C-alpha cells in the first residue's frame, strides 16, 4: 500500500503535542492588530485545543503526526 500524503495546509495550521492533542492558533491574529489593546494581543499568542468534533478529520489530513 502506498504512503499517505500529509495535507500541507493542515500541517502549517495545526500543531500536534507529544501527548497527541491537536492545537491551533486563534483567528484575527495578524490583521488590524495595531489597533487592539495590549492585553488582547497577548491573548492571541496562546494556542488552544481543536474542537473534539474536528479531531478525526484532522487525523486523516495528517496521518503521520
Domain coordinates in residue numbering, the chain: 14-26+33-61
pLDDT digits (tens, 9 = 90+) for 1-50: 899 999 999 999 999 999 999 999 998 888 888 898 999 889 999 999 99
* Prediction pTM value: 0.82
Does residue 65 surpass a pLDDT of 90?
Answer: no
In the block, cell 500543531 appears at 15
CA dist 7 to 13, 29, 33, Å?
10, 23, 29
Phi, psi of 55 (to 5 degrees): -60, -45
The three three-digit cell numbers of residue 4, written as one number: 499517505
Amino acid at each position: 500500500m502506498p504512503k499517505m500524503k500529509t495535507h500541507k495546509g493542515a500541517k502549517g495550521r495545526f500543531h500536534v503535542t507529544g501527548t497527541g492533542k491537536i492545537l491551533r492558533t486563534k483567528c484575527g491574529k495578524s490583521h488590524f492588530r495595531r489597533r487592539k489593546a495590549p492585553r488582547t494581543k497577548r491573548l492571541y499568542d496562546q494556542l488552544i485545543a481543536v474542537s473534539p468534533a474536528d479531531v478525526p478529520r484532522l487525523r486523516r489530513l495528517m496521518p503521520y503526526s
